[in-house]
Chains A and B, each alone.
Chain A
Amino acid sequence: MQTKKIEEYIWEIPVTEKEGMRVPARIIASEKIMKEMDQGVYNQITNVACLPGIQNYAYCMPDGHWGYGFPIGGVAAFDLKEGIISPGGIGFDINCGVRSVRTNLSFDEVKPRLNELMDALFRLIPAGVGSTGFVKLNTERFKEIMIKGVDWCIQNGYGWEEDRERIEQGGRIPGANPDKVSQKSISRGMDQLGTLGSGNHYLELQVAQTDRVFHPEAAKVFGIDKPNQIFVMIHCGSRGFGHQIATDYLRVFTEAMRKYNIQILDKELACAPFNSPEGQDYYEAMLCAANSAFANRQVILHKIREAFSQVFHKSPLELGMHIVYDVAHNIAKIEEHLVNGVKKNVLVHRKGATRSFGPGHLDVPEFYRQIGQPVIVGGSMETSSYLLVGTQKAMEMTMGSTLHGSGRTMSRGAAKRKVRGYELMKSMEERGISVRAVSMPGLAEEAGIAYKNISEVVEAVDRAGISRKVIELKPIGNIKG
């Protein structure tokens, strides 16, 4: 497919490349990443560019790779009247996201007790297939969580008042309607609150790299105030509840497509007009899953604080366990953006992409408003993760969006044939990364060799200017579902 360079790190596929494209597609990448990008990405991002009501461009981030429907790393905004909403543009794991938490502890303080801490975390936070959480819910309480998200957790003792402000949209997106979720999704998700899940979901202990601070002012605001500080990262989503909502509505939408006579190039891009009963029902159900995912990460954080407190015999507050931020990277949201130079509300789908609002934006909490919204980028379990901040250029170029992780380059099967779980665990331990995994084959599937180089993809968004690097975080402990 023909691509032309718009500027360093921004590439465009013109509408002439595929019949039906309504807007060009844009890929944010270095020349090297472009060359290595799998062909599925080109095909899928141009399919997205064909969807009704798409605004500006169909975007793909440098961590992009072949998914289903949208590519992973895909971003697309739609007109609220003429445009669509698509579960394939959000993913089955609604509001899969990342939360970063700081501590007052240094690596030297944690090192002698690392194994004890890892055991406590592994014991307190259920992971893997079929695991259940400690919060006992009934349908009524679960419905409250769908509406209130993190507020429910705080009200029930699973969080601090200040936590709310350090989460995208306060961990409670308005508009969720529990009447739009099926009984099946409720029964599938009700006992999973506070569980990590499996696959690429993890809980990680990290050391902030004092010699890898790129934006000292932002690092200070993030609470980085001593060398080799310990951070915690959580990566997980809405669990079976979200998966079932997506499954239910994918079926509703395959029918709706006939009704509204919408043509698409991949059945997984099934969609409905946003302004239709089906589109609105899915949006309201999707937000129930989004809020429950914020609550899930909140309940997990509650347990992390408990584990640290047990091991270090200090309260979580004394340990300075403040949230840095929490981002959703599988979601659709109504946001105001520039379209042809005019500000308007659009429905932004981000599938494996993160919001990256710049300094001064009113949706950025006040204490971050000067530096821009924190962006959290999780690496593979063997490599670093990064904290970044959003920029004004992201608002102008990518509908306030940036990357979400490193992006796979190798299938899980191929990774498993190259690496064995126990050997990988041994090698990680030798490199100073303590591992607790419920499944050894599952661990092998997530080996670092299966992913793009995190530093390269982060460099690409930094150079493109759609977010700015703040600090690198190196793993010292990984818990894998």
Chain B
Amino acid sequence: MPKFKFLDDIAIADAAFVAYGKTLEELFESCALATFEVMVETKGVKPEQKEEIMIKDQNLDDLLFDFISELIYLKDVRKIFFSKFDLLIKKNKDYKLTGTVWGEKIDYKKQEIKRDVKAITYHLLEIKKSGNSWKAQVILDT
């Protein structure tokens, strides 16, 4: 199963994708990878610098929105593209996401950079579990 697939026929101004995962963690990791794939060929991004992430939310949509927003924020502030993600999502009363993300300093000489991502949107945002796997649809503003 591919980790994600870009969609051309919705929200043409922006970047849309569906992402998959056997677990919620895998799903969120796929969404993060797809987000950075919009910006850069992630295969060429070395996982050499790391950041720790912790996010709490009442529902999965908000958790995904806040997680991707945090990565986009870190991209601008630390000037890093991320390419490797190791997450843990737990649910008690709220959902809690913790994890480590790895990446490399933005470098036009070393990486094949495409374009910036401004934000994740809530437009047609959807997270679904079907059978044993998870699927999410995401639209990014670029």
Contact = CB atoms under 8 A, between A and B. Distances in A.
B47 to A, nearest CB: 17
Contacts of A246: 119
A65 interface: yes
A438 interface: yes
Given A198-B116, A439-B114, A68 B123 contact: yes
Contact of B13 (A67, A187, A413): A67
B62 A254 contact: yes
Contacts of A40: 10-12
Enumerate the 9 nearest inter-chain pairs by beta-carbon distance, A residue then B residue, closest first.
Answer: A68-B123, A130-B106, A267-B122, A268-B123, A198-B116, A411-B8, A68-B121, A243-B118, A92-B119
Contacts of B108: 128, 438-439
B53 to A, nearest CB: 14
B89 interface: no
Interface string A384-423: 0000000000000000000000001111111000000000
Contacts of B69: 247
A442 interface: yes
A408 B106 CA distance: 28
Contact of B65 (A69, A251, A413): A251
Classify chain A: how many residues form its interface, as a range: 35 or more
Interface residues of B, number: 40
Contact of A188 (B9, B77, B106, B116): B77
B133 to A, nearest CB: 24
Contacts of A240: 76, 118
A198 B62 CA distance: 27
Interface in B70-85: 72-73, 75-77, 79
B101 interface: no
Given A198-B115, A251-B65, A412 B141 contact: no
Interface in B95-142: 106, 108, 112-116, 118-125, 139, 141-142
Give the most central of B72, B73, B79: most A CB within 10 Å: B73
A270 interface: yes
Nearest to B58: A255
Given A67-B14, A188-B77, A408-B13, A129 B122 contact: no
Given A247-B119, A250-B65, A270-B122, 20 more contacts: A66-B10, A67-B13, A67-B14, A68-B121, A68-B122, A68-B141, A92-B119, A129-B75, A129-B116, A130-B76, A240-B118, A266-B122, A266-B123, A267-B122, A268-B122, A408-B13, A411-B8, A414-B8, A441-B115, A445-B114
Contacts of A159: none
A197 interface: yes
Contacts of A187: 77
17 contacts: A66-B10, A67-B123, A68-B121, A68-B123, A68-B141, A69-B123, A88-B121, A91-B141, A92-B119, A93-B118, A184-B73, A188-B73, A198-B115, A243-B72, A250-B65, A412-B15, A413-B15
Nearest to B112: A441
A66 B73 contact: no
Contacts of B14: 67-68
Contacts of B39: 129
